[in-house]
């Protein structure tokens, strides 16, 4: 059972951006270097996070991005809902594959798994980015974040 790399990167980008002082900008090369991950992937992640309103972008030389809202207003569960392509933990939960399993009309398993997925997300809803940033000083030291 796993989340997508996209989700993983999105959460790490938000942690990085959030660990900076209020108005300080982050850049993709900076994050790619710190986490040792691909710039190309990060471009897509940052684009998504901007589009859905978590990051505000400043273009041009000296540009970059910062959190577009207070970290306490960004729920981890909502970030995950926006980055995961689906929560069909088994294929038959995908509406496009409806009717492919003969027991579907009498299947209790799907209900159980839907309930379990909801429980997973409910826990992540209890965490905001602010919670993830609580060890801010340690994060800043570990990431060599410049303010």
Q: Which 3 state secondary structure label does DSSP give 125?
A: helix
**Which one, 63 or 118, has the nearer CB to its own copies?**
118
Residue 72 as a binder of its own copies (CB under 8 A): the answer is: no
Backbone angles phi, psi at 57, to 5 degrees: -105, 135
Give me the helix-helix angle, 76-83 and 5-18, nearest 10°: 140
Shortest distance, position 146 Cβ to its own copies, whole Å: 15
Residues 6 or more apart whose Cβ sits within 8 Å of residue 67 = 14, 17, 18, 54, 55, 56, 74, 129
As a whole number of angstroms, the distance between CA 110 and CA 118 comes to: 12
**Residue (33 or 58) nearer to its own copies, CB:** 33
Query: By the 8 A CB rule, do 22 and 28 touch?
Result: no
Can you tell me whether residue 68 is helix, strand or coil? coil
From candidates 12, 26, 54, 65, binder to its own copies by CB under 8 A: 12
Does residue 44 bind its own copies (CB under 8 A)?
Answer: no
Q: Is 26 in the site for its own copies (CB under 8 A)?
A: no
To its own copies, the closest distance from the beta carbon of 80 in angstroms equals: 8
* Binding status of residue 60 toward its own copies by CB under 8 A: no
In whole angstroms, what is the distance from residue 7 CA to residue 34 CA?
18
99 binds its own copies per the rule CB under 8 A: no
Query: Which residues of this chain interact with its own copies, rule CB under 8 A?
Result: 1-5, 7-8, 11-12, 15, 34-36, 76, 84, 86-91, 100-103, 105-109, 112-113, 115-117, 119-124, 126-127, 131-135, 138-139, 142-143
């Amino acid at each position: 059972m796993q989340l997508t790399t996209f989700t993983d990167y999105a959460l790490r980008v938000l942690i990085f951006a959030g660990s900076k002082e209020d108005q300080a900008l982050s850049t993709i090369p900076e994050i790619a270097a710190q986490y040792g991950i691909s710039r190309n992937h990060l471009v897509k992640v940052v684009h998504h996070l901007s589009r859905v309103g978590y990051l505000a972008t400043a273009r041009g030389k000296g540009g970059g991005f910062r959190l577009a809202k207070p970290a306490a207003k960004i729920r981890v569960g909502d970030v995950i809902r926006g980055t995961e392509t689906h929560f069909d933990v088994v294929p038959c939960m995908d509406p496009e594959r409806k009717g492919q399993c003969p027991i579907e009309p009498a299947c209790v398993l799907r209900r159980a798994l839907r309930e379990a997925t909801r429980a997973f997300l409910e826990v992540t809803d209890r965490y905001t980015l602010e919670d993830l940033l609580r060890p801010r000083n340690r994060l800043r030291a570990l990431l060599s974040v410049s303010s």
